[in-house]
Amino acid sequence: MMFAKKGIYYFFLACYILAFSLILISCDDKKNSVVLDSNKFNNMYENIKNNFKPEGYIEITDDWKISTMVPTLVGESEKQHDVFQENNKTLVYKNEKEGIIVQMGLTPSNTEAFEWKNAIRYAPNFYNSQKKDYGISDHYSDVYPNTEVNTYVFTGKGLNLSIVSISDKIKVPNGIDLSGDFLNSFMEFLSKQP
């Protein structure tokens, strides 16, 4: 029962990080007020959902239309918020063999060129280290999850993208490598799209 509660906690934590990342992209996009081509975006989303098949992963959302609900930002009009909510898509990939989950958040963008917006990593062995020589140990506690989270936020090919990988650091000691491999595979797929 405790494991199920922790699993749900990690899932909601990842959803929060994904939603927050998409909000950051939305705020930073200087062309955010420009009407975006929803048909082009939806076609690209469907193309990714149906044709991006990274080795070892299955995409699990099937026919679910998943969109993370977010609050209205300060200064954001109701119309802007509605457009964001309508075009905020989520895909979830699982790799059962490796024990890693990757969530991908997509929204439309006016940017075709690839550009990094943000990247962040939570490594429990560093940020909640038991030993000072290995990382930040001042506030170590076993109450914190042993979950590694890697987040990549970028734009390109008319998309704002957030990719969040989640893994148990004990069971998956190479989570950062798997996350990087997934990202590279996705970038290769995207670069071949018109």
Across the chain, which has 194 residues, the per-10-residue mean pLDDT values are: 57 59 54 64 94 97 82 84 83 97 95 95 95 94 95 96 96 94 97 92
Is residue 162 within 8 A of residue 105, CB to CB? The reply is: yes
- For residue 72, the model assigns a pLDDT of 82
DSSP string, 50-89: HH---TT-EE--TT-------PPPTT--HHHHHHHHHT-E
- For residue 19, the model assigns a pLDDT of 57
- For residue 194, the model assigns a pLDDT of 86
CA separation for the pair 165, 182 (Å, rounded)? 9
Domain count, the chain: 1
CA separation for the pair 162, 18 (Å, rounded)? 6
- For residue 35, the model assigns a pLDDT of 52
- For residue 87, the model assigns a pLDDT of 84
- For residue 32, the model assigns a pLDDT of 46
- For residue 34, the model assigns a pLDDT of 47
Question: Which strands form 89-95's sheet, in the order they lie side by side?
Answer: 58-59, 89-95, 100-108, 159-168, 147-156, 115-122
Q: Residue 108 is part of which domain span?
A: 2-191
